[in-house]
């Protein structure tokens, strides 16, 4: 009989967290574990729910699944947001308590530290059920973030972090209850293919002699699309003439997106692309991934690119620099040091260097990001927690 893992997921939007969790679930199908995932019950929950179902999970929808945010990506800064977080917290606690009492899972796995209320509810239902929190982005280092970190240390038995920087942000964790397991990628989906590469480049109008630097993430202030366009324009005369920049991920008309679009339209090196549901073909068509993030968090496109034998140019932030080997699979740059950006871009316009870095990138990906490796690391944590006698 399979052991049951009860997952709590915080969002109905597509992104790195649900995609990583769905990959994990797909791998569990052939293990001794089964997956049940609890999602927020919202009008637009269907897409994420179906993605999890297709990967072998039972899906439950609950209206009181609401995040208690406090990270670099979701900072929760206004009084209204903080009041909402406190008011909704107890609903999550009660929902988790009820579900754990009814389902009786062997493990509770929170797909983000913002779901710490589900950890509290799980322990109210059964103080011996192991609770894992996935650390997907660093918590804020202000009083609000430190409060969220204390809540996690109190109600979580084990932490799985996608990087060391995120784990450090929790603070005061015994290494025995923490593991770094990188976000994973399916190498059967993200892999180099020259035939489809040429087809996609022709479709997008990318010329054979151009070196395409692709920024592939949600267009928002944290991810730096506008800042990238500004930087490219300010140093354009110093860049290799074949260096071009494509920013993908536009899907709305927020003030930031409108600003980014305007800057891109005024640049002869930059182009804007709408959200593409097939990131694998887009990455395969590009030459280099660029992650110009303005706040510290991970970039899924960087390790997907590594699996596709593509080097990366990333902002010099802790979470991003863990995704490359400096000078071997990519380069880091600083916005206030333009020469670091110019050097990185011009260096990777050389086709032989692209190939050299790409070969090293796929080797790095196989050791750190491939599904089979990271699935096994996660299953090892599950086995350890089930075998462990938790404090009474």
Residues 103 and 206 both lie in one domain: no
Structure tokens at 274: 């709408």
What is the residue range of 274's domain? 194-368
The sheet carrying 243-250 orders its strands as 270-274, 243-250, 211-216, 288-291, 312-315, 330-333
Exposed / middle / buried, residue 234 (Cβ in 10 Å: 0-12, 13-18, 19+): exposed
Residues 110 and 225 both lie in one domain: no
Q: Confirm whether 49 is domain-assigned.
A: yes
Q: What is the Cα–Cα distance from 25 to 56, expressed in whole angstroms?
A: 6
What is residue 390's predicted lDDT score, i.e. its pLDDT?
A: 44
> Could you tell me if 333 and 313 are in contact, meaning their C-beta atoms sit under 8 angstroms apart?
yes
Residues 302 and 270 both lie in one domain: yes
Q: Confirm whether 344 is domain-assigned.
A: yes
Distance of CA 82 to the CA centre of its chain: 24
What is residue 29's predicted lDDT score, i.e. its pLDDT?
A: 87
Residues 55 and 153 both lie in one domain: yes
Residues 361 and 312 both lie in one domain: yes
Contacts 24+ apart (CB under 8 A), 341-348: 341/231, 341/235, 341/313, 342/235, 342/238, 342/239, 344/313, 345/213, 345/239, 345/240, 345/243, 345/313, 346/239, 346/240, 346/243, 348/211, 348/287, 348/288, 348/311, 348/313
What is residue 57's predicted lDDT score, i.e. its pLDDT?
A: 94
Residues 125 and 41 both lie in one domain: yes
Query: For the chain, how many helices (H) and strands (E)?
Result: 15, 13
Q: What is the Cα–Cα distance from 199 to 203, expressed in whole angstroms?
A: 6
Residues 222 and 316 both lie in one domain: yes
CB atoms within 10 A of CB 52: 22
What is residue 392's predicted lDDT score, i.e. its pLDDT?
A: 41
Q: Confirm whether 168 is domain-assigned.
A: yes
Residues 375 and 319 both lie in one domain: no
Q: Confirm whether 85 is domain-assigned.
A: yes
Q: What is the Cα–Cα distance from 165 to 171, expressed in whole angstroms?
A: 10
Instruction: State which residues of the chain have pLDDT below 70.
Output: 389-392
Strand partners, 107: 5
Distance of CA 137 to the CA centre of its chain: 8
Residues 240 and 337 both lie in one domain: yes
**Run of H or E including 180:** strand 178-180
> Could you tell me if 309 and 192 are in contact, meaning their C-beta atoms sit under 8 angstroms apart?
yes
Exposed / middle / buried, residue 246 (Cβ in 10 Å: 0-12, 13-18, 19+): buried
CATH number at residue 213: 3.40.50.2000
Residues 216 and 285 both lie in one domain: yes
Q: Confirm whether 189 is domain-assigned.
A: no
Residues 145 and 262 both lie in one domain: no
Structure tokens at 311: 């080097």
Q: Confirm whether 217 is domain-assigned.
A: yes
Buried/exposed code over 337-370 (b: 16+ C-beta within 10 A; e: otherwise) = eeebbbebbebbbeeeebeebbebbbebbeebbb
pTM of the entire structure?
Answer: 0.89
Spatial CA neighbour of 64 closest among 108, 121, 21, 1:
121
Residues 22 and 157 both lie in one domain: yes
**Run of H or E including 248:** strand 243-250
At 315 the three-state DSSP class reads: strand
Q: Confirm whether 199 is domain-assigned.
A: yes
Number of domains in the chain: 2
Q: Confirm whether 63 is domain-assigned.
A: yes
Q: What is the Cα–Cα distance from 265 to 271, expressed in whole angstroms?
A: 7
> Could you tell me if 191 and 308 are in contact, meaning their C-beta atoms sit under 8 angstroms apart?
yes
């Amino acid at each position: 009989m399979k052991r049951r893992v009860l997952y709590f997921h915080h969002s109905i939007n597509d992104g790195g967290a649900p995609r990583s969790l769905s990959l994990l679930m797909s791998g569990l199908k052939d293990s001794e574990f089964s997956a049940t995932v609890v999602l927020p019950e919202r009008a637009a929950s269907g897409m994420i729910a179906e993605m999890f179902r297709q990967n072998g999970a039972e899906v439950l929808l609950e209206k009181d699944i609401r995040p208690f945010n406090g990270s670099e990506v979701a900072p929760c800064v206004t009084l209204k947001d903080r009041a909402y977080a406190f008011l909704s917290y107890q609903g999550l606690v009660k929902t988790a308590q009820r579900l754990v009492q009814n389902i009786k899972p062997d493990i509770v796995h929170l797909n983000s530290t913002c779901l710490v209320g589900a950890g509290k509810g799980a322990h109210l239902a059964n103080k011996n059920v192991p609770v894992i929190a996935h650390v997907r982005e660093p918590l804020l280092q202000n009083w609000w973030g430190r409060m969220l970190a204390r809540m996690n240390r109190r109600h979580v038995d084990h932490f799985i972090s996608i990087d060391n920087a995120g784990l450090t942000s929790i603070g005061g964790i015994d290494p025995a209850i923490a593991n770094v397991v990188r976000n994973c990628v399916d190498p059967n989906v993200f892999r180099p293919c020259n035939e489809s590469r040429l087809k996609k480049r022709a479709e997008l109008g990318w010329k054979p002699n151009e070196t395409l630097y692709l920024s592939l993430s949600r267009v928002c202030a944290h991810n730096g699309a506008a800042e990238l366009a500004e930087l490219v324009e300010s140093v354009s005369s110093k860049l290799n003439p074949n260096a071009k920049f494509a920013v993908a991920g536009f899907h709305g008309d927020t003030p930031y997106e409108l600003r980014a679009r305007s800057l891109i339209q005024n640049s002869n090196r930059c182009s804007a692309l709408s959200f593409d549901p097939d990131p694998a073909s887009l990455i395969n068509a590009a030459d280099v991934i660029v992650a110009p993030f303005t706040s510290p968090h991970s970039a899924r496109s960087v390790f997907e690119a590594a699996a596709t034998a593509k080097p990366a140019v990333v902002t010099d932030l802790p979470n991003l620099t863990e995704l490359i080997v400096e000078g071997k699979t990519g380069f880091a740059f600083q916005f206030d040091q333009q020469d670091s950006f110019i050097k990185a871009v011009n260096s990777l316009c050389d086709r032989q260097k692209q190939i050299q870095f790409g070969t090293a990138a796929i080797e790095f990906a196989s050791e750190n990001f491939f599904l089979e490796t990271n699935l096994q690391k996660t299953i090892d944590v599950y086995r350890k927690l089930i075998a462990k006698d938790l404090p009474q």
